[in-house]
A = this chain, B = another copy of it.
C-alpha cells in the first residue's frame, strides 16, 4: 500500500486537522470528528447537517459554509459516525430554528442519525431527516436496505442549504430536500478497487480487463462485472439506466453530474461528460447546468458516476444561489 498517510488509525483525525488548517472559517467540535461552520449556530437559520463514513472527500465537510451545510460528521473510513457525535453536531448547529439531517441510505448511518435525532429531541431541538437513495444500480446491497445514497446527495446539500439561507422554515427546507431526492438518479462504475488505509489492499478483486458496473461508493458489488469498454460505452450504460429510472420527457430540463471516484483524471471525466451531453441532446432533454469533478469519492478508486437531476424553477433558483464552501463556490450572476 502506498498512501500519503502516517498511521492508518490517524487518517481521519489528521485529515480533519489539515482541513481546518486550510479553512480557518471551519471549526472542529472539541473531542469529536465533527466540523461545523465557524459561525454556527447561524441566528434564526434552519441548520443543514450531514455525515457518514470518511473516504468520500470532499464529502461532506467540503460542503460546509454559506449556502450549504452547517455541520458535517466524519466517521472512520467507510464507517458511520456515532450517534453521540451526530447528536453533538445537531445541538451545536441548532439556532432554535431546527435542524435538517441529510442522510445517505446506509443502515448504520440511518440508525445512528435516528438515535441522534431522538437524543437531540430530548433537549428540545426540532430535528427532521431526509434519506437520499439515488443509486439506481441495485435494490439492496451490502450495508443497505433499499437503494444506496450516493453523489446526488450533493444536490440535496446545495438546494436545501440555499433554501435555509433564504430564511425558509424547517418544513419548507425539508420539502426542498425531498423534491431533490424524488428527482435525482445516479449510477456508478469502477475501473479499479479502492484501498482502505486499515486494510492496505484492494477491497475487491477486479481483473486487468474487467470493470464493475453499478459499484457502490465503498466498493460494494454492482450489477455486473464486464469486460473493459470504451468511455462512450460505459457512459451509455450508466446514462441509460439513470434516464430509464427517471422517466424524463422531451423538453424537460436537468442538471447533470459526472463525478470522479478519486483516482480518475479530470480529463477522463470530461470525456464522459461529452457523451452524456450528446445522449441528452439526442433525447431532446435540456441540460441547464453540467457539473464535472470529484464530488463524492471512494478513496483512490478509478471510475465515475453519472447523476441526472430533473429541475423545476425553484430548484434552478436554489442551485444558482450563492454558496461559499471549500469544495463548491457559486457566485451571484
A-to-B contact residues, CB < 8 Å: 2-6, 11-12, 14-19, 21-23, 54-55, 57-58, 62, 191-192, 208, 211, 228, 230-232, 234, 258, 262-275, 277-278, 287, 290-292, 294, 297, 299-300, 302-304, 322, 324, 329-331
The answer to whether residues A14 and B291 also contact, given A6-B231, A302-B2, A331-B331 and a CB cut-off of 8 A, is: no
Q: For A62, what are the chain B residues with a Cβ–Cβ distance below 8 Å?
A: 266
A223 and B294 alpha carbons, distance in the complex (Å) = 31
Distance (whole angstroms) from the CB of A115 to the closest CB of chain B:
26
- Taking a contact as CB atoms under 8 Å apart, the answer to whether B274 and A17 are in contact is yes
Distance (whole angstroms) from the CB of A13 to the closest CB of chain B:
9
The answer to whether residues A264 and B21 also contact, given A11-B271, A300-B302 and a CB cut-off of 8 A, is: no
Distance (whole angstroms) from the CB of A140 to the closest CB of chain B:
28
Q: For A5, what are the chain B residues with a Cβ–Cβ distance below 8 Å?
A: 230-231, 268, 271
Residue of B nearest to A57 (CB): B266
A170 and B264 alpha carbons, distance in the complex (Å) = 38
Distance (whole angstroms) from the CB of A303 to the closest CB of chain B:
8
- Taking a contact as CB atoms under 8 Å apart, the answer to whether A270 and B15 are in contact is yes
Q: For A57, what are the chain B residues with a Cβ–Cβ distance below 8 Å?
A: 265-267, 270
Q: For A274, what are the chain B residues with a Cβ–Cβ distance below 8 Å?
A: 14-15, 17-18, 21
Distance (whole angstroms) from the CB of A287 to the closest CB of chain B:
8
A2 and B229 alpha carbons, distance in the complex (Å) = 9
Q: For A304, what are the chain B residues with a Cβ–Cβ distance below 8 Å?
A: 4
Q: For A15, what are the chain B residues with a Cβ–Cβ distance below 8 Å?
A: 267-268, 270-271, 274
Q: For A291, what are the chain B residues with a Cβ–Cβ distance below 8 Å?
A: 22
The answer to whether residues A231 and B273 also contact, given A266-B57, A292-B18 and a CB cut-off of 8 A, is: no
- Taking a contact as CB atoms under 8 Å apart, the answer to whether B2 and A273 are in contact is no
A228 and B101 alpha carbons, distance in the complex (Å) = 41
A272 and B21 alpha carbons, distance in the complex (Å) = 11
The answer to whether residues A273 and B21 also contact, given A294-B266, A330-B329 and a CB cut-off of 8 A, is: yes
Residue of B nearest to A326 (CB): B292
**Can you list 23 A-B contacts (CB < 8 A)?**
A2-B191, A2-B208, A3-B268, A6-B230, A6-B232, A14-B231, A15-B267, A15-B268, A15-B270, A18-B272, A19-B273, A19-B292, A21-B274, A21-B287, A22-B258, A22-B273, A22-B290, A22-B291, A22-B292, A263-B302, A264-B300, A267-B299, A294-B294
Q: For A271, what are the chain B residues with a Cβ–Cβ distance below 8 Å?
A: 4-6, 11, 14-15, 18
A271 and B324 alpha carbons, distance in the complex (Å) = 23
A58 and B265 alpha carbons, distance in the complex (Å) = 9
Residue of B nearest to A210 (CB): B2
- Taking a contact as CB atoms under 8 Å apart, the answer to whether A4 and B191 are in contact is yes
- Taking a contact as CB atoms under 8 Å apart, the answer to whether A2 and B230 are in contact is no
Distance (whole angstroms) from the CB of A14 to the closest CB of chain B:
5
Which residue of B272, B297, B331 contacts A266 across the interface (Cβ within 8 Å)?
Answer: B297
Q: For A297, what are the chain B residues with a Cβ–Cβ distance below 8 Å?
A: 265-266
A265 and B306 alpha carbons, distance in the complex (Å) = 20
A329 and B14 alpha carbons, distance in the complex (Å) = 26
